[in-house]
């Protein structure tokens, strides 16, 4: 055989490897894209949970009939950074350090805003008065609108007499007035401790409600 005709080892064709690499690449990108989507979703969820929205379960009957035991609520944590607290708002706030009502300790409470900063709140004939005017309370069943009683202590906030809500505080009560441990028991709530405003009842679905 002519030396010039000796077989020469040649590298294997690269077409096959190229095709396989092209086929594998989309799969690899898909995995990285999926990881990226999951990471972004987790970050968004954490941000929403921390700064914007939160869900809570109602553990007691102090807000009945508006909120019942086992209801789940959606709380807007951003709203009070944009505007002030409104009367009749249902709010979630940190449990006051002086709260000593019966029941297991909880980190947060839910009540309705009755008195705003600087207002004078009083009781007469079982009705709530703000600055000397009776407070309409359409959120209460008609039969219970004359059942609000003072708290058990002799403190001014117990409402045995007129009480002026301090600046930067709000006065809260539960809708179930006879069975609610609220500002009549442990005083007004500093606005700085408010977690947010209750916007919706999201559970059970049959009672989905916007507040």
| 111 catalytic per annotation | yes
| 62 catalytic per annotation | yes
**H/E/C letters for each residue in 3-55?**
HHHCCCCCCCCCHHHHHHHHHHHHHHHHHHHHHHHHHHHHHHHHHHHHHHEEE
Backbone φ and ψ for 64, nearest 5 degrees, come out as -65, 150
Catalytic residue among 62, 79, 180, 183: 62
Please give the radius of gyration of the chain, using alpha carbons only, rounded to the nearest integer: 31
Catalytic residue among 60, 77, 79, 111: 111
Backbone φ and ψ for 77, nearest 5 degrees, come out as -90, -5
Active-site amino acid positions: 62, 111
């Amino acid at each position: 055989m002519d030396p010039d005709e000796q077989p020469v080892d040649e590298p294997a064709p690269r077409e096959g490897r190229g095709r396989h690499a092209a086929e594998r690449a989309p799969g690899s990108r898909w995995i990285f894209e999926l990881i990226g989507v999951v990471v972004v979703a987790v970050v968004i969820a954490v941000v929403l949970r921390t700064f914007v929205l939160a869900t809570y379960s109602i553990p007691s009957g102090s807000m009945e009939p508006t909120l019942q035991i086992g209801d789940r609520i959606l709380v807007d944590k951003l709203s009070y950074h944009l505007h002030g607290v409104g009367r009749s708002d249902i709010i979630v706030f940190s449990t006051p350090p002086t709260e000593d009502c019966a029941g297991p300790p909880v980190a947060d409470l839910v009540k309705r805003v009755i008195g705003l900063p600087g207002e004078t709140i009083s009781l007469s004939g079982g009705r709530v008065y703000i600055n000397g005017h009776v407070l309409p309370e359409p959120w209460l069943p008609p039969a219970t609108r004359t059942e609000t009683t003072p708290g058990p202590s002799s403190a001014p906030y117990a409402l045995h007499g007129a009480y002026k809500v301090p600046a930067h505080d709000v006065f809260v009560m539960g809708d179930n007035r006879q069975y609610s441990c609220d500002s009549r028991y442990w005083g007004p709530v500093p606005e700085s401790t408010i977690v947010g405003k209750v916007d919706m009842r999201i559970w059970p679905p049959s009672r989905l409600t916007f507040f």
